[in-house]
Amino acid sequence: MKRNLIMLVPGLTRVTSTAQLSEFTEGLIAASERMPLAHIAAPSIPPGVQRLRTTTAGQEMELDLVEAYWNDLVPSITQQTLKTRLARGFSLIWFWLANLHIWKGVLRRKYLTFGLTLSALAFTVWYLGTIILFVEAIEPSADSPFFSLVEEIKKSVEYIGGWRIWAVATAVVALMPVSLLVDISDFCKRYLTNEPAARGKPAVRFEIIRRVREQLQSSLALGDYESVTIVGHSFGSVVTVDLFADLPSFGIPVRILTMGSLIEVLGKQAPWLQNEVLELSRRDDLIEWIDIKSHSDWFASGSAVPKVHNCYEKVIGSYGTFPDKIAAKVHSRYFDNQEAVRLLLSYFERQESLKVDSTESESAMEPA
């Protein structure tokens, strides 16, 4: 029986290894209509692999689902010391808010701009809280030359910490995953500018690429696969493009699906990422690149895929209430979206139909 490999490259979320793979697998099984999928449990299945079986056009096929986990390589700025958060927060303000490249084309992508504005508001709330905690922690002695200055700063901080400001802040924190958004903004800067996760270590970008490449090679060694499909979700789409733009061909067809991608926006901050998109579209073994996004996803821009025969964008429908969109819950609902699942499985359905047609043609040509 023929098998195909599907590798999930997830976005940045604070979950354990295989958690998103389980969510991905359950979503495929639940949302697949034209190709019913059945989960297989057998001792012979390698650890870390979710195996699904389907029958289409009278032919059985198996799909091996694996995850390229990399979240443990990313530091959390919200868990650092006050001094580190203060310094790092200022660098993020300069990188994201003071740089106008990211805000170009506001009217052309109004929903994304609204999502980015909300993210900026969430970051501002977090950074104000950091400043207040830092200032309150300063306790100079009465004979210090800085005593009067610190007291004046504390009075200003008391005004910032007034109930009106924090009434708004409380609402923002309640609606949005503030800590996660701050961690993502910090991580994006590290990745795009080749910063290390800690002093003395390699750039976090290179560590992640090496991890995902090694997991891909290990997964390909598990069996004789007919094709490999890479599903990059959220920032995982950036990692996918970054890896496969330079990865040598390995002899089987490659499909890329990017879901809820941020590449179009991030490419304005990092021109190298735009070049990687072009390089990926020129791969000899790339048979299809589908960039999937939803207008209800306020935290996705798409990948700006080149207009070539095997690369295209698909806008899907996705329901979400206003709080769901603000809280980025729509952004995490691609795995069980029926349109997204149909696009993911369409290649396998076409391949099985072609095999059946080829078999019938050969039978018709045989002499009676």
Q: What is the DSSP string of 279-302?
A: HHHT-TTEEEEEEEEETT-TT---
What mean pLDDT is reported for the chain?
A: 82
Q: Is the pTM of this model over 0.75?
A: yes
Range with the lowest mean pLDDT among 157-166, 174-183, 270-279?
A: 157-166
User: Among 24-28, 51-55, 138-142, 235-239, which stretch is predicted with the lowest mean pLDDT?
Assistant: 138-142
- Both tokens of 202, joined, read 């390699």
Q: Look up tokens 């870390």; give the residue.
A: 48
Contacts of 230 by beta carbon, 8 Å cutoff, 6+ apart:
6, 7, 9, 240, 244, 254, 255, 256, 257
Is 9 in contact with 24 (CB distance < 8 Å)? no
Helices 235-244 and 204-220: angle between axes, nearest 10 degrees: 70
Contact 215, 242 (CB under 8 A): no
Half-sphere exposure of 148 (CA within 13 A, CB side): 1
d(CA 36, CA 21): 19
Pairwise CA distance, residues 68 & 43, whole Å: 22
Per-residue pLDDT for 134 more than 80?
no
Q: Is the pLDDT of residue 358 over 60?
A: no
82 confidence band (pLDDT: 50, 70, 90): confident
Instruction: Give the residue, 139 or 161, on which the prediction is more confident.
Output: 139
What number is the average pLDDT over the span 348-359?
63
CA 190 vs. chain centroid, Å, equals 15
For residue 254, the model assigns a pLDDT of: 95
| CB-based contact 6:63 (threshold 8 Å) | yes
Is residue 4 within a helix (H) or strand (E), and if so which, with residue range? strand 3-9
Does residue 77 have a pLDDT over 80?
yes
Q: Do 299 and 12 touch, CB atoms closer than 8 A? A: no
Structure tokens at 262: 């941020």
For the residues 164-190, what does the mean pLDDT come to?
A: 69
> Would you state the structure tokens that stand for residue 27, as one six-digit string?
């979503």
DSSP state of 248: P
What's the distance, CA 240 to chain centroid?
Answer: 9
Band of residue 259 on the pLDDT scale cut at 50, 70, 90 = very high
For residue 128, count other CB atoms closer than 10 A to its CB: 17
Exposure of 118 in the CB half-sphere (CA atoms within 13 A):
23
Q: Which amino acid is at 64?
A: D
Helix (H, G, I), strand (E, B) or coil at 232: strand
Tokens 């389907």 identify what position?
54
What does the chain come to in residues? 368
Model confidence at 108, pLDDT cuts 50, 70, 90, reads low
In angstroms, rounded to a whole number, what is the distance separating the alpha carbons of residues 257 and 292?
7
State how far the Cα of 50 lies from the Cα of 66, in Å rounded to an integer.
7
Of 131, 153, 151, 132, residue with least CA distance to 142: 151
Query: Which pLDDT score is estimated for 28?
Result: 93
The type of residue at 171 is A
Between residues 104 and 345, which one has the greater pLDDT? 345
> Percent of the chain at pLDDT above 70?
76
For the residues 55-75, what does the mean pLDDT come to? 88
The percent of residues in the chain predicted with pLDDT above 90, rounded, is 39
